Structure 1
Amino acid sequence: MIWTAPEVERGGFPAAADESTSLEAFLDFHRRTLLLKCAGLNGEQLAAKPLPSTSLSLLGLVRHLAENERWWFRNRFGKDTSAVDLYCDEEHPDGDFDLGDPDGAEADFATYAREVELARATAAGRSLDEEFSGRDGGTLTLRWVYLHMIEEYARHNGHADLLREAVDGTTGE
């Protein structure tokens, strides 16, 4: 049996909620949007690089965003030094995009789901004003992480729209 990315219900946003709940809901919307763009595709389709102007693939985006979930929530905000890069190293700085294997798609999706859950657990019950040091030594907050991740997903979900259409003609929100 050939594995295919599962169907996803994207859901909506709370009409009136506090800031933490709203940020989490908007980030979850974008997380589910990425998965929605992948739904029903097999490993070969997910790993396809159908646009001649880029080496991006839907699988690469899933892997890249797993790295980002891990890096910003666990490594930087949570100060978990064991949460190192999943797919990238000195030899392959873009390994998240460049080394995606169709046969590993199911495992990569499981890794992504695990990183999202670990990110949620890291942020659960924490103040949006809680500070940590950024790469350049500046001070960032959990609020900044949420906003940055929403921006990261929004940009890459635009890429996912184009990739999905090029893979099988599917369009939509």
Structure 2
Amino acid sequence: MHMERISPPGTGGERETLRAYLDFHRATLALKCEGLDDGQLRRRASPPSTLSLMGLVRHMAEVERQWFRRTIGGAEVPHLWSDHHDFQAAYDATDASGAEAFAAWHAEVAHSRKVEAAATSLEVTVYVPKWEEEVSLRLVMLHMIHEYARHNGHADFLREAVDGTVGA
């Protein structure tokens, strides 16, 4: 579950900065989950929502898979927790285990890093049918930073509801 969280550099190139911010947000999600058992990771803070910390980890594994493995990498791989392109299905962690969720997430993050590193530049583009336009690796990385930042805000509230831990 642990992922070292290193603050992004105050100076540096664009790609290095994007990588650092994305990794910072990935590590923040791991930090929000650190030290919790499966029951705590599954706890829902705002019923009837199925949102939980484990659900966020599962969702972000699916999002990593979508943007890096499928979109940028061009791989045709199945969804992790849905047969019908339903990213919301990952939120329901009722019968899930932390080991399974974190293994999937770590595997997708590792694969995402490889796909990003192999791209020749941030200008690499791919067509996204849902958006009906070409998007660059730069946009995908910025989108992922946005996804993590938004969901890490949710993780703050979810963690506080579990055991009162705030901050970081």
Query: Shift of the alpha carbon at 1:14?
Result: 1.6
Alpha-carbon distance change, 101 to 14 in structure 1, aligned in 2, over 3 angstroms: same
CA distance in 1, matches of 2:151, 2:106: 17
Q: Report the equivalent of 2:74.
A: 79
Contact 2:6 2:24 (8 Å CA) reproduced = yes
Q: In 1, distance between residues paired with 2:114 and 2:39? A: 32
Q: Which residue of 2 aligns with 1:22?
A: 17
Who is 1:96 aligned against? 90
CA contact (8 A) 2:42 2:93 kept: no
1:100–1:142 CA distance, 2 compared to 1 (3 A): farther
* Structure 1 residues 75 and 31: alpha-carbon distance in aligned structure 2, compared to 1, 3 A threshold: same
TM alignment of 1:45-124, pairs within 5 A: 45-52=40-47, 54-82=49-77, 84-90=78-84, 94-102=88-96, 104-124=97-117
Alpha carbons 2:79, 2:85 under 8 Å: kept: no
**Once the two structures are aligned, what percentage of the paired residues are identical?**
45
Correspondence 1:146 to 2:135 = no
- Unaligned runs of 5+ residues in structure 2 are none
Report the alpha carbon displacement of residue 55 of structure 1 after superposing the two structures with TM.
1.9
Please report the TM-score for the alignment, with normalisation by the length of structure 2.
0.92
Unpaired stretches in structure 1, ≥5 consecutive residues: 1-5
Distance in structure 1 (CA, Å) of the matches to 2:94 and 2:7: 31
| Structure 1 ranges of 4+ moved more than 3 A | 6-9, 90-93
Q: Return closer, same or farther for 1:134/1:91 CA change in 2, 3 Å cut-off.
A: closer
* TM-score, length basis structure 1: 0.89
Take 1:25 and 1:68, find their aligned partners in 2: how far apart are those partners? 18
Deviation (angstroms), 1:85: 1.1
Q: Which of 123, 147, 169 is equivalent to 2:164?
A: 169
Shift of the alpha carbon at 1:91?
Answer: 9.7
Of 7, 15, 31, which residue of structure 2 is paired with 1:36? 31
3-state SS of paired residue (2:66) = helix
Shift of 1:49: 0.8
Aligned residues: 166
